[in-house]
Amino acid sequence: MTSLWLGPGLLGVADLLHLLTHFMMLSLLAVGGAITTAPDMQRFLVREQGWLSDAQFTASVALAQAAPGPNVLFVAVIGFNVAGLAGVLTTMVGTLLPSTTLALAASRWGDRNRSSRPLQAFTAGLAPVTIGLLLATSWVLLEPTRGQWTTGALVAATLVLMLRTRISPLWPIAGGAAAGMAGWV
C-alpha cells in the first residue's frame, strides 16, 4: 500500500531535499514559464533519478496541460507522481519560491530603471531564449511518439496554422486530441 504523504516513490527526507534544490535551481532558469524547464525535469526525474518513467513524465505534463488553470500545474502533477503530497509541496515550493522572489525584486528594480538601455536590451534578448526553451520542451514531450509520421504531420500542420493564421490554438489542440482518440498518433 502506498502512503498518500510519501507517495508512489516513498522518497526519504534527503531525496525530497534533493528534489527541492533541483526545482529551486530550475525555477531561476524558467524564462518563459516553468514548462520551459520540462526537458531538464525529465532528465533529472527520469534518466538521472529513475523516479518516473518517460511515459509517466509525459502523461503528467499532458494531464496538467489539459486541465484548466495555470500552466505551472504540471509541476504539482509531476511532484505527486514522484512522492505524493510531499512531492507536490516540494516541487511547487521549489518552483515558485525562488522565481517569485526574484520577479518581485526585479520588477521593483525595473520600475525604477525603466528607461535604462541595458535593461531594454536584456528584455529584448530573452525572446530567443524563451523560444529555444519551448522548442526543447516540445522535443522532449514528443519523444514517446517520435518516428510516427502522423505525429510529425500534426506538429507541422499546427506550426503552419499558428504562424500563418490567427486561428485559436484551441483548434489544433482539439485536432490533436481527436487524432489521439482515433488512434492515429
Tell whether the model's pLDDT for residue 1 goes beyond 60.
Answer: no
Q: Would you place residue 2 in the very low, low, confident or very high pLDDT band (cuts 50, 70, 90)?
A: very low
pLDDT digits 0-9 by tens, 65-94: 888 888 899 999 999 999 999 999 999 999
Q: What is the pLDDT of residue 47?
A: 95
DSSP state string for 92-153: HHHHHHHHHHHHHHHHHHHHHTTT-HHHHHHHHHHHHHHHHHHHHHHHHHTGGGTT-HHHHH
> Which residues, including other chains, have CB under 8 Å from residue 4's CB and lie 6 or more apart?
84, 85
Tell whether the model's pLDDT for residue 129 goes beyond 90.
Answer: no
Q: What whole-number distance in Å separates Cα of residue 76 and Cα of residue 137?
A: 17
Stretch 135-164: mean pLDDT, rounded? Answer: 80
Q: What is the pLDDT of residue 14?
A: 94
pLDDT > 70 fraction of the chain, expressed in percent and rounded:
94
Q: Would you place residue 161 in the very low, low, confident or very high pLDDT band (cuts 50, 70, 90)?
A: confident
Q: What is the pLDDT of residue 51?
A: 95
Q: What is the pLDDT of residue 45?
A: 97
Q: What is the pLDDT of residue 13?
A: 93
Cβ 102 vs Cβ 90: under 8 Å:
no
Tell whether the model's pLDDT for residue 184 goes beyond 80.
Answer: no
Tell whether the model's pLDDT for residue 4 goes beyond 70.
Answer: no
